[in-house]
Amino acid sequence: MRTGLGKGGVLGRQRADLYQFSLPWLTHYEDRSSMAWSREIRLPFLDYRLVNLLLPLDPQWKLRDGWTKWIFRQAMQDWLPPPIVWRKDKQGFSTPLGEWLKHELRPAVERLLREDLLIAQSGLVDRDALAKRYQAYCAQPPLRGTYSRKDVFNPISLELWARRFEAQLSF
């Protein structure tokens, strides 16, 4: 089966997702969210026995006729209505942070970048360079350009965090 996923194919990509990419990132945010809201969160499909059973399966049991999670869909056919089992429109939720930074949050960010920054005073960030980077980020077309939203959001978040905990910090 040709997948366009390189030498490792589907299994290699799944192992990379499991150990390097998607899973560590998702579980990190799930853990933080559950702690922030004092909730017990369970991830039943991450049970090591289920992962050990399914990960080595041949890709034909995972991807078939354009369907992902094929064996799981087959297993759930008798338990769930077909529109749920065979839906293709399920997508993750992401916030439009990039657009917020360019529009709704822009006056607040520009005001912040005109002030003395704790992260600049500590030598972590050059305020003028950050302000120029932010202006360049706002001017570039969506999803294209030199800067990502993280290039401006991360230092801004760090500054807001430093202001919140300034009394406990020693720069």
Residue 6 confidence (pLDDT): 67
Closest by alpha carbon to 51, among 40, 41, 62, 60? Answer: 62
What percent of the chain is predicted at pLDDT more than 70? 93
| pLDDT, tens only, 80-139 | 999 999 988 766 666 788 899 999 999 999 999 999 999 999 999 999 999 999 999 999
| pLDDT, tens only, 65-77 | 888 889 999 999 9
Positive or negative torsion for Cα 82, 27, 23, 152 = positive
pLDDT surpassing 90 at residue 63: no
Residue 164 confidence (pLDDT): 94
As given in the structure block, the two tokens for residue 164 are 């919140």
Amino acid at 131: A
As given in the structure block, the two tokens for residue 27 are 């579980």
